[in-house]
Amino acid sequence: MIKKIILTLLTASIAFAASDSEVSDFITDLVKKNPMLTPKSVKILGREKLPKYDNWEAVKVVIEYTANDPKRGKFDVKQSDMFFTKDNLITNELADAKNGKNLKDVLKPKLTANYYNDEHFVVGNKNSKYKIVIFSDPLCPVCKDAVPDILKSVIKNPTKAAVWHYSYPLAIIHPASPIIVKAELVLAKKVPLREILDKFYGFDINPEEKN
């Protein structure tokens, strides 16, 4: 996983409370520790207090950096992640001692209304009770199986749910993904997103392909 490549320190102590800028600086320093990576930016998406877990706070972030792989060359990567902070501590892994679950797998992101926009709308009833927002890499094996099934289900029940789709290429493991996403953005100006996704998730492409 990408996080295991760039985040070599799971827990560290810092000498001050972790504000947004301090969390950003901390992550930037972690990226710098990997000689193959050059940090570009860290964006704080939001924070959520966890009173159930002794007031730890979850911090959602988007990390952008340039990777320099000896075989693949240089390429840009953009990834989402979550960190946890309390007092003078910050970590990117926090588990529930009672059930052993990683809180990253338990916490659900709270999406603002901005995510439910026309640009990323795919199919369904926008005013329905069930709103599904998909963040996906078009070459992710799990996504290639799951996303088409989700779309088919909503197409069969268009009044009960709605789907929005965001492409997040994981270039460090799927070098061909950024090219596909760029093509998607160009086509989206002329072709409905639903038709584009039907084609792209059906592509039989080697994830390692770069040309």
Positions in the chain short of pLDDT 50: 1-17
pLDDT of residue 123: 95
Rounded Cα distance between 95 and 129, Å, is: 31
| Confidence at residue 102, expressed as pLDDT on a 0 to 100 scale | 87
Given this model, what pLDDT does residue 165 score?
93
pTM over 0.75: no
DSSP 8-state class, residue 95: B
**pLDDT of amino acid 84:** 93
Task: With beta carbons less than 8 A apart as the criterion, state whether 134 and 151 touch.
Answer: no
Determine the pLDDT at residue 13. 41
- Residue ranges of domains in the chain: 2-95, 113-200
Cα(201)–Cα(10) distance, rounded to whole angstroms? 34
> Which pLDDT score, from 0 to 100, does residue 128 have?
93
At the second CATH level, the architecture of 113-200 is 3-Layer(aba) Sandwich (3.40)
Q: What pLDDT score does 206 carry?
A: 66
> How far apart (Å, rounded) are the C-alpha atoms in residues 117 and 115?
6
